[in-house]
Chain A
Amino acid sequence: MNWSVMIPMLGFLLIIFFIGIWASRKNAASGDSFIQDYFLGGRELGGFVLAMTMVATYGSASSFLGGPGTAYTMGFGWVLLAMSQVVTGYFVLMILGKKFAILARRYKAITLVDFLKMRYRSTAVVILSAFAIIVFLFSAMAAQWIGGARLVESLTGISYNGALFIFAVSVLVYVTIGGFRAVAVTDAVQGAAMVVGTFVLLVAVIIAGGGIPNIIGDLISENPNLVTPFGNEGNLSKAYVSSFWILVGVGVVGLPQIAVRSMAYKSSAGMHRALIIGTIVTGIIMLNMHLIGVFARPIMPGIEVGDTVIPLISMEVLPPWLAGIVLAAPLAAIMSTVDSLLILVSSTVVKDVYLNYIKPDATIKAVKRASFGVTAVLGIIVYMLALNPPDLLIFLNLFAFGGLEAAFIWPIVMGLYWKYSNKYGAIASMITGITSYIALHFYNEAYGNLLGVHTVALPVLLSFIAFVVFSLVIGRKAHSFEEEWKELKQEALGK
């Protein structure tokens, strides 16, 4: 076992445990608003924590392992593509922004499904969206666990099963104990670890490569395409790269794990700060990590598996103890994605399914027990699945991001800003989005990308058309938030 890498990493995990326990103390202090607290951190996030939790949730295994690995193969074209993600730093908060925050409070919404339920007042919308979240995000989460365990395995030399066990225990302990606030606060620590880690590694890689001009020279003499925007084989087209602005850029508005963070912040001042910090941090991480991937090529040629580029180059150019600290960054990214997804899926089960349909009059005690229980049980199921991942899981994970975006983007955005939005539009939009995404996925696999763009682009367009057409054709009615608010207040008084 490689102890000089292990010790800094274990230290990192201990810090995370500590924070989880500390945050749970704060949790225990506030009694009756347990659900809001456990799943939303009491809507008290400040700017820095909000920004970091969004970046850390979004920046997953792909930003730290898969993405740089592809940049290693494809060259600067893939770094260009990755930079389309900077837009997420400000776009999500500016679009959902204050209106989402205000309405979420009026609706007393804890989850994205709560929001949709109140806005559209439709059981079908609730069931469809809860179903999409549970199926897609559960698979996405399991895939991240597998990535996390593989990383621990490659760093420490312990077996995959052993690595998975360490990973699972650390995630479960602090999610179960601490809830959303613990997750958000640890995200902040992990986000900071990521930023510092990427800088250290980038500088070390540039030094090891003999300076940037030297590295670029090596790349050109190997294959000039590596320094063009078109990829190593010249096959990254403008249309394809640009369509990633939807998948990993503006479409992120439709991801439930990101949207739910837009209702957790305390004040508009915090949101303003988060906009700025989020943009800076996203840009730095994406730029640095993908450049590291490209620059690693002349230093360590011939790496076959993309995911191993970052672990290998770190151990090559850094002293072991520093490699341990730096590699805590991708581990941090994976863990923070996993814990956010875990808490989101369990909130969907407890809040949107159990409290809505199974036991609406559950006591606080029962809800508490259910929340801890569901979170723990979900974690154990994911652990069992990750031990021996079934094909179905890998398959569903392929649809997770694009499928969720196609399903949720218009019901959220149009529900906020277009007064004719209604439940028929929302239902049609979700069904169109998911089915056309899956259908197009198979078409593109068989015949190449339709119109040369990524699979996500057309379903997002189709679900938009479905939304508008169905909203106008069936039950067309202008929605007034003010009248709705009066009704909500009267309902509250009636109780």
Chain B
Amino acid sequence: MKKTKESEDWRFKIANREALIGVGLALFNFVWWFGFAYGLGSRPVEEYTYVFGLPSWFFYSCVVGFVTTVILVILVVRFFFKEVPFTEEEDEQ
């Protein structure tokens, strides 16, 4: 068991970490989307507030939520994702 751990391809460790980041990001994305939509949108329509003419639940959940997701994706890719070669180094033909 220990042996397989040690000899694991270094690129796979990076891949595993990035996959976990993907799951985390999707969870965050979901919570934001769900929280604003139903948190602000469950009131009676007469009590709605509006941002740029759009209902505030929609604006924060879908518009701001989308922009936030894009910013997070950019930051995560920039600071946490590592470039790796896809072909094998030791070519022993």
Contacts and interface: CB of A to CB of B under 8 A. Distances in A.
- Bound pair (A, B): yes
Nearest to B66: A283
Contacts of B70: 276, 279-280, 283
Interface residues of B, number: 54
B86 A212 contact: no
A106 B57 CA distance: 48
Given A220-B45, A228-B45, A287-B63, A249 B19 contact: no
Contacts of A250: 26
Contact of A95 (B4, B22, B69): B22
Contacts of B61: 80, 83
B4 to A, nearest CB: 5
A287 B26 contact: no
A25 interface: no
A256 to B, nearest CB: 19
A229 interface: yes
A478 B8 CA distance: 13
Interface in A225-282: 225, 227-230, 238, 242, 245, 249-250, 267-269, 272, 275-276, 279-280
Contacts of A275: 73, 77
A98 B29 contact: no
A485 B90 CA distance: 12
Interface in A162-188: none
Q: Which of A220, A227, A489 has the most CB of B within 10 A?
A: A227
A3 B4 CA distance: 67
A90 B19 CA distance: 11
Interface in A480-495: 480-483, 485, 489, 493
Contact of A91 (B26, B81, B83): B26
Q: How large is the interface on A (under 10, 10 to 19, 20 to 34, 35 or more residues)?
A: 35 or more
A86 B86 contact: no
B62 A80 contact: yes
Interface in A440-495: 478, 480-483, 485, 489, 493
Interface string B40-63: 011001001010111101100111
Interface string A195-233: 000000000000000011101100010001101111000
Given A80-B62, A272-B83, A283-B66, A102 B15 contact: yes
Interface string A77-116: 0011001101101110011011101100110000000000
Contacts of A220: 45
B84 A98 contact: yes
B73 A90 contact: yes
A79 B25 CA distance: 21
Nearest to B12: A99
B23 A95 contact: yes
A80 B92 contact: no
B41 A228 contact: yes
A216 B53 contact: yes
A87 B62 contact: no
B55 A101 contact: no
A276 B73 contact: yes
Interface string A52-74: 00000000000000000000000
Interface of A: 76, 79-80, 83-84, 86-87, 89-91, 94-95, 97-99, 101-102, 105-106, 211-213, 215-216, 220, 224-225, 227-230, 238, 242, 245, 249-250, 267-269, 272, 275-276, 279-280, 283, 287, 416-417, 478, 480-483, 485, 489, 493
15 contacts: A80-B33, A87-B26, A95-B22, A106-B88, A229-B38, A229-B41, A238-B38, A268-B86, A272-B77, A272-B83, A276-B70, A283-B69, A480-B4, A485-B9, A485-B88
Given A90-B22, A482-B7, 16 more contacts: A90-B25, A94-B19, A98-B14, A99-B16, A102-B12, A216-B50, A227-B55, A229-B37, A242-B34, A268-B84, A268-B85, A276-B74, A283-B70, A478-B4, A481-B12, A485-B9
